[in-house]
Amino acid sequence: MAPTTPPAPAFTIRDAEHQDLDVIVEYNRRLAEETEGKSLDPSILRSGVSRALADPDRLRYWVAIDPDGRVIGQTAITREWSDWRDGWLWWLQSVYVEAHYRGQGVFKALYHRIRVEAKASGDVIGIRLYVEHENQRAKEAYRGLGLEAAGYSVFEELWIGTPVDEADSQGAP
């Protein structure tokens, strides 16, 4: 008996396009709410996604598409230059899969596509991502793909939505 060919996945992966703007905005809104309990400012979110779609060097999105042409998942990368390693690190972000499709290999396919492209580029030396501490399901999925905890914590100071304070305007530390 001849070996059988496994069925093709019920979705395809492609680079995001401007026509995907509305669904990416909605998925990012859901992502913030589901993983961190945050409500994002819709106008800032829409502007940020629109700028990313217009300039993939800023942030590059890939989407998973079902057989009907509907976006069912997304992932994006930003790039960080590593002087220590003389190469680019691609940071995954905006990882979201529609609830109905979770556990069906959508993120695995997105990750595989990104990983193949990264390795083929010749100057990308790895992939990183950050994950909310309590998001155990995501951590398990990432470990299942071979990603490991890097041993770093992320610290930040965000200025969006805050006025410039007097010390900043006077050049004080």
User: At residue 163, does pLDDT exceed 70?
Assistant: no
The answer as to whether 1 is a domain residue is no
The answer as to whether 121 is a domain residue is yes
The answer as to whether 21 is a domain residue is yes
* CB atoms inside a 10 Å sphere around CB 98: 18
Q: Is 38 left (phi over 0), alpha (psi -120 to 50) or beta?
A: beta
The answer as to whether 5 is a domain residue is no
Find the domain containing 103 and state its range. Answer: 12-169
Indicate the average pLDDT of the chain: 90
Tell me which DSSP letter residue 84 carries. T
Strand order in the sheet with 60-65: 12-15, 60-65, 71-82, 87-97, 124-129
Question: The domain that contains 55 carries what CATH number?
Answer: 3.40.630.30
The answer as to whether 19 is a domain residue is yes
The answer as to whether 7 is a domain residue is no
This prediction has a pTM of 0.84
Environment class of 71 (CB within 10 Å of its CB; exposed 0-12, middle 13-18, buried 19+): buried
Tens of pLDDT along 103-125? 999 999 999 999 999 999 999 99
Residues written for the chain: 173
Tens of pLDDT along 32-47? 999 989 999 999 999 9
The answer as to whether 165 is a domain residue is yes
The answer as to whether 4 is a domain residue is no
How many structural domains comprise the chain? 1
Tokens 């900043």 locate to 168
